[in-house]
């Protein structure tokens, strides 16, 4: 799972650099990467709302919500529920 997260961070970095390239010099940017970025953002937002009950049931819902927006389902697989030892 660590390798998947590293590859996803590399993809986010590539998409970010492509966006910067578009701002600085449009002839060096690839429009296909922009569409890939939009699909990736839409998929992660969908995952966030789909898995929201599971994210909310964790110890740190805000942190885990942001991580799901970055890593998507790779983060959801590692989520653990709140411990119910106090009940």
Domain count along the chain? 1
Render pLDDT for 46-68 as a digit per residue (tens, 0 to 9).
999 999 999 999 999 999 999 99
> 7 exposed, middle or buried (CB, 10 Å; 0-12, 13-18, 19+)?
exposed
Better-scored residue on pLDDT, 7 or 21 = 7
Copy the structure tokens of residue 81: 């529920």
What is the pLDDT, as a whole number, of residue 83? 58
Total count of residues recorded for the chain: 87
Q: What distance lies between CA 7 and its chain's CA centroid?
A: 12
**Residue 83 belongs to a domain:** no
**Residue 49 belongs to a domain:** yes
Quick check: 80 pLDDT over 90? no
**Residue 25 belongs to a domain:** yes
18 pLDDT band (50/70/90 cuts)? confident
**Residue 87 belongs to a domain:** no
**Residue 40 belongs to a domain:** yes
CA distances from 75 to 15, 35, 36 (A): 20, 23, 20
Range of the domain at 63: 2-76
**Residue 48 belongs to a domain:** yes
């Amino acid at each position: 799972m660590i390798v998947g997260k590293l590859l996803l961070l590399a993809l986010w970095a590539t998409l970010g650099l492509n966006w910067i390239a578009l701002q600085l010099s449009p002839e060096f940017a690839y429009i296909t990467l922009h569409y890939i970025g939009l699909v990736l953002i839409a998929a992660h937002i969908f995952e966030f709302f789909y898995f929201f009950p599971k994210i909310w049931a964790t110890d740190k819902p805000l942190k885990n919500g942001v991580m799901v927006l970055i890593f998507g389902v790779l983060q959801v697989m590692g989520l653990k529920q709140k411990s119910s030892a106090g009940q």
